[in-house]
Amino acid sequence: MSQIDLLVHNIKALVTMAGPAGARSGAEMKEIGLVQDGAVAVVDGRIVAVGREEDVQKQIQGADISTEWDAKGKLVTPGLVEPHTHLVHGGSREHELSLKLNGASYLEILEKGGGILSTVRATRAATEEELFVKAKKSLDQMLQFGATTVEAKSGYGLSVKEELKQLRVTSALQKLHPVDLVSTFMGAHAVPTEYKGRTDEYVALVINEMLPEVKRSGLAEFCDVFCEHGVFSVEQSRAIMQAARKLGFRLKLHADEIEPLGGAELAAELGCISAEHLLAASDEGLLAMKEAGVVAVCLPATSFNLRLSKHARARKMIELGVPVALSTDYNPGSSPTESLQLVMTLGCLNLGLTPEEVLTAMTINAAHAIGRAEQVGSLEVGKQADLVIYDADNLAYLPYHFGINHVKTVVKNGQIVVQDGKVAYE
Ligand SMILES: O=C(O)CC1=NCN=C1
Ligand SMILES: [Zn+2]
């Protein structure tokens, strides 16, 4: 190697996340590929050498190094991966806080035309430019919290025109923002007011018009459905996802978030890449997911924010051999936070995961949940040089000391995009 673009060195604790192929579960979730006194060398945005600094220095000996970045004896991890967000949306729902404090449940608020439908009204009323500006601000926040790859769902348009508007905003962000975005169509997020009481007719609209239009637009890779009591039944969810699969979409499912409908079983039956929430999932459903290789995406900020007495049974999932990923579920109602670092703390304190399992769930397993494990989720030769340097020298300190942002520097495709905790990209 004659030319190195970036060398990140003097890393006291380098978490490479190098390990077995495939999404990880069981004891494998504790294997984080930790290297003491490490370094990472980058050419053209890709990792060319990674490991103990003395070994990396030998591998690049004699090369001309454009930028040497001193990690000052701190912790470095792979760029964090957000596999589940509702990034693009209009308005906000702080008024729901008092409703919740007065005992209203999530589904009761939705049933009365609030919740998702309140955000649908705000999103339909917003211009593409307004949605772009608002989503970019959140994406900058996510980047500052260490997220370098983010999944973004539609689902606040609920008509062909408005769903395509949301998806175009995600596409515009993908072109202009350093964070890599992965787009999911979620027209089956709720039944719009104009179809109230006519859910089957709305399901037909999703199947016969929205899915083909979205496929033609090329603006989404995945299709997700909110399979929930009072939203879309197992049968309706199955019909939508079978139609989506036929068109070539890969599948995700909001499953067993509040009521145990058997969403986990349906996700396994249809070969979803991931199933989301799963607070009410049965052991049988989780076992079926394990057999089908479905990644469980747990969302502890949501159960925290909804003041639920129970959380996703992540420990049980790991015991059964289901790969676990974590995400913020960023959305204006059930989880209005962009902080994956808060999710680290909740993953430990409310889900009972160790710091190592939490990091696996936010890197390589999250990458598997969005089909990007070949490109990101670990610091290995050939992968994208997406990494985070923290103002901490060990992993446990991140979830332990909560409520602040520990990120100092973020590197995306070999470029410094966050410096001293603030976005620093052109
Ligand atoms: O409430 C929202 O806007 C997002 C959500 N969809 C399903 N659960 C939460
Ligand atoms: Zn969600």
pLDDT digits (tens, 9 = 90+) for 389-417: 999 999 999 999 999 999 999 999 999 99
- The verdict on whether residue 177 carries a ligand-binding annotation is no
Which residue's CA is the nearest one to ligand 1's atom 5? 334
CATH 2.30.40.10 placement within the chain = 3-78+378-423
Ligand 2 centre to CA of 333 (Å) is 10
Which option is the CATH number for 3-78+378-423: 1.10.1040.10, 2.30.40.10, 3.40.640.10, 1.10.260.40? 2.30.40.10
Residue 119 Cα: closest atom of ligand 1:
3
CA-to-CA separations, 394 to 11, 37, 38, 95, 400, in angstroms, rounded = 11, 12, 13, 39, 11
- The verdict on whether residue 254 carries a ligand-binding annotation is yes
Q: For ligand 1, is residue 415 a contact (CB within 6 Å)? A: no
Residues with CB under 5 A from ligand 2 (ion): 329
Mean pLDDT of the chain: 98
pLDDT of res. 11? 98
Check: complex ipTM more than 0.90: yes
pLDDT of res. 422? 97
Q: For ligand 1, is residue 86 a contact (CB within 6 Å)? A: yes
Q: For ligand 1, is residue 368 a contact (CB within 6 Å)? A: no
Q: For ligand 1, is residue 118 a contact (CB within 6 Å)? A: no
**Is residue 197 helix, strand or coil?**
coil
Task: Specify the DSSP element, H or E, that contains 316.
Answer: helix 314-320
pLDDT of res. 285? 98
CATH 3.20.20.140 placement within the chain = 80-370
Q: How many CA atoms lie within 13 A of 277 on its CB side?
A: 32
- The verdict on whether residue 64 carries a ligand-binding annotation is no
- Rounded CA-CA distance 293/225 in Å is 19
Below-70 pLDDT ranges, the chain: none
Q: For ligand 1, is residue 333 a contact (CB within 6 Å)? A: yes
Q: Which two tokens stand for residue 285?
A: 């459903």
Which option is the CATH number for 80-370: 3.90.1150.10, 3.20.20.70, 3.40.50.880, 3.20.20.140? 3.20.20.140
pLDDT of res. 186? 98
Phi, psi of 284 (to 5 degrees): -60, -40
pLDDT of res. 426? 82
- Rounded CA-CA distance 8/41 in Å is 6
Any idea of the CA torsion for 407, 412, 415, 421, to the nearest 10 degrees? -20
Any idea of the CA torsion for 278, 406, 94, 121, to the nearest 10 degrees? -70
Report the sign of the C-alpha dihedral through residues 236, 238, 244, 249, in that order: positive
